[in-house]
A and B are shown apart, each in its own frame.
Chain A
Amino acid sequence: MRLVRPEILQTLPGPEDITRVELPNGIVVLARSNFESASVTLSGYLPAGGLFDPPEKPGLAHFTALGLMRGTERHHFQHIFNRLETVGASLGFGASVYNINFGGRALAEDLPLLLSLLAECLRTPRFPVKQVERLRRQILTGLAIRDQDPADRAEMMFDEILFPNHPFGKPTDGTRETIASITREDLLAFHHHTFGPRGMTVVIVGAVSASRAVEEVQRCLGDWVNPLQPSFPEIPSIPPLEQTVRRHISLPGKVQTELVMGTLGPSRLSPDFMPASLGNNILGQFGLMGRIGNVVREQEGLAYEASTSLNAWKDAGTWEVTAGVNPSNLQRAIDLILAEIRRFISEPVSWEELRDSQSHYLGRLPLSLESNAGVAHAILNLERFNLGLDYYKRYPALVESVTPEQILEVSRRWLDPERFAIVSAGPPME
């Protein structure tokens, strides 16, 4: 079977058109030119995410990331944003569990500006007092909104149940208590001790030659060193749940109930990943949200959205179902979803379903890789998960080799409906 045409294969990013250079200070630069576009996309990360938060200060990495652009040793906040916005460019930072992530874009002629600002914010942030206080108010407002958002609340509780006393179970953006207590000195110290070039990855895609892109990164970041930069913390192991855990979060005044239910899932590096990914597509994505969408939305009309997702990181993952339902339909939706999960782990998917999803995975490649941002995202993942520059060349074979029996085996390993975390958030339950 060949589901992808050779001429499409040739357009996919590969070793022949991705330049990968490791600078002496450890920064990995990946670049791919696209002179069809007029712009450049910048994307990357450095290992300084929530895993590095002190246990009593979750949210510190996040606060630090958002503070980077609030003023540097050379420039004020308004100066930084004036330079960016005047040329229609954008740059932003955020934190995830592992990393500080960054992304930006500009017209090609403004790439030097974008990289200079990236380097300046990463290397010499000043966290001015006034800006820190303003940012604190903004983060606290964001957290107050989050704490009233049923979907966010359900998702946070889901993570807390699956990863008890574990960094993966804590919200990267912290809590109102920790954000209120973090000081400017904390931000300065976190930056000083944690930020550095080792493990940093920068991807540049767009209307610039790869060699020029590498030179620009070298110019701005090539002499950055930080002898204090820590090594990656040990990730504690994560046992599966012993039995189903059910929680409801009451949010008076809300109209709809958000439901999140599921289990741990394979890591991105696990051999289980590809069968689980295709299985997940069949279970809750393909067409209009797969088998679960078909039952919950199409047949029963219980929800606008009912779908599944497989979230896979380096060391762990989750496999979850989400739906938004009227409170009176909540139990019915949970029962229908559990019944679909039981069916999914009791018999193999049909070859027809699998062929559909395989065909979808390969057919969507040109669409997911048409823009600079799409290509940058794909290249970043190659590096993040050590997949190899030839991954997209091997990808069709990887997808096509998966069988219904493999999906069944992998699903049985991960999806145990007797050991589910089931969380709902919305109006109080009667």
Chain B
Amino acid sequence: MIHPQKGHMDSPAFLTKLSNGLTVHLKEIHTAPLISHWVWYRVGSRNEMPGKTGLSHWVEHLQFKGTPRFPPSILDKAISREGGVWNAFTYMDWTTYYETLPADRIGLALELEADRMVNSVFDPAMVEAERTVILSELEGNENEPLFQLGRAVQQASFRHHPYRNEVIGNREDLLQITREDLYQHYRQYYVPNNALVAIAGDFRIEEMLQRVREAYEGIPAGDVPPRNVPIEPPPSGERRLEVHGPGETAYIQVAYRALPAAHPDFAVLMVIDSLLSGPASLNMFGGGGISNKTSRLYRALVEKELAVGVGGGVQATIDPFLFEITITLPPVYRPEETLKAFDEQILRIMETPVTPKEIQRAIKQARALFAYGSENITNQAFWLGYAEMFDHYDWFVDYLERISRVTPMDVQRVAQQVLNPQGRVVGFYIPEDNHPGGVS
């Protein structure tokens, strides 16, 4: 049981594995005539080699380009016509596809996902058209100063590990990746024994399990390439970098090597993040967040006029990724002074135990965020699969429980371990102060 309150959180999930290795998670929720269906693949930028960055994301795009049975013109319209939504996301550790539909139309999602697990065409002309679409997506990102800064900080934070690359890939790689690279990546990783189907909504479990078997169990298992992810040495010394670009606004981003999600202390790190920069939400769809105006960093930086905004976060990943804090500087800025005040807060959390009251607060905030997210079937189905990509479903089930067990001593101990200045990257975005453009 996840949520002690009323709401949908108390219906148990049904977990099983089919004979071809496909993991299946089902959960009945009868609050609205809707079903959300997700397929997760254990593949993302973490599985990519140098020179081939962006493969996983590009494959995700091509999964919308049709199979013999569902040509793209039909595919595009089928879900919309039924009043559903569908989309996909590629991340460092995983790629996921979802459809949320009126309950009586969910058969379409099962058929479509089972079909494109094996039968996508990867038509060469479409591969080429998608190359420019993805370059356009990248160029849209590159218009954003924070993308430029984040990319530089991420690259500087890892020497070997693929986490150093943006999921969308490097421009040079996107220009030379071939249709064969993409198709091979697809065939290697899109197999049932590397996938998980999660479905939540208005159905009966026995009946849905039968439909899942009919749709997916005939797909043969495959050989998933072993994960030879390069070992990343611990960081040696603080690194600083500057990114120069258009704009008038300066930013600082500080990145510490975080803990992997499956680590017993990961919940402690979530609490540390909450205390420093405000509570983070696990919701992807609706629910919204909570402001962070009483967080330590807001008080120390924004209320001292050293910043106009601050935010941070830690992400749940297989290998250690980053705990990142981003600070937006005021029109007249003194980055070193801001960083000094920031460091005082880091030192404080390392040296002075927090009060139990502060931890209680973080727990209630996490509870509220869960309640908000659970109103939404799509979120619920997302949660049903998400944790399995970096740990196990229990990670999610026990999440609030683990947060509520965090003690002030834990916070101090993990802060001392993670927030070590010798292990961080500090990036500055320095605006080139060109004045907003002329009109022609």
Contacts and interface: CB of A to CB of B under 8 A. Distances in A.
The answer to whether A and B belong to the same complex is yes
Interface of A: 5, 7-8, 11, 35-39, 77-78, 81-82, 84-90, 92, 105-107, 134, 137-138, 140-141, 144-145, 147-150, 153, 157, 207, 247-256, 258, 286-288, 294, 297-305, 324-326, 356, 359-367, 369-374, 425-426, 428-429
Interface residues of B, number: 82
A252 B32 contact: no
Contact of B440 (A82, A250, A303, A356): A250
B437 A326 contact: no
B439 interface: yes
Interface stretch (B158-166, B174-182, B219-227, B246-254): B246-254
B181 to A, nearest CB: 18
Nearest to A254: B143
A251 B436 contact: yes
A140 B331 CA distance: 8
B423 interface: no
B129 A298 contact: yes
B288 A90 contact: yes
A370 B375 contact: yes
Contact of B247 (A148, A305, A367): A148
Contacts of A361: 83
A300 B129 contact: yes
Contact of B85 (A297, A367, A426): A367
Contacts of B440: 247-248, 250, 429
A32 to B, nearest CB: 13
Interface stretch (B109-117, B334-342, B359-367): B359-367
A364 B134 CA distance: 29
B434 A89 contact: no
B344 interface: no
B102 interface: yes
A253 B144 CA distance: 11
B302 A141 contact: no
Given A85-B290, A359-B82, A138 B308 contact: yes
B248 A148 contact: yes
A286 B34 CA distance: 20
A38 B247 contact: no
B237 interface: no
A36 B105 CA distance: 23
Interface stretch (B2-10, B47-55, B384-392, B394-402): B2-10
Contact of B294 (A78, A89, A145, A302): A78
Contact of A324 (B34, B136, B372): B136
A105 B365 CA distance: 12
B76 A37 contact: no
B365 A145 contact: no
Interface in B291-331: 291-294, 299, 302-303, 305, 308-309, 328, 330-331
B233 interface: no
A38 B5 CA distance: 7
B6 A38 contact: yes
Given A78-B294, A88-B367, A301-B129, A255 B143 contact: yes
Contacts of B262: none
Given A85-B365, A88-B367, A298-B72, A359 B81 contact: yes
B95 interface: no
A11 B202 CA distance: 14
B294 A81 contact: yes
Nearest to B372: A39
A5 B82 CA distance: 12
Interface string B105-136: 10000000000000000000000111111111
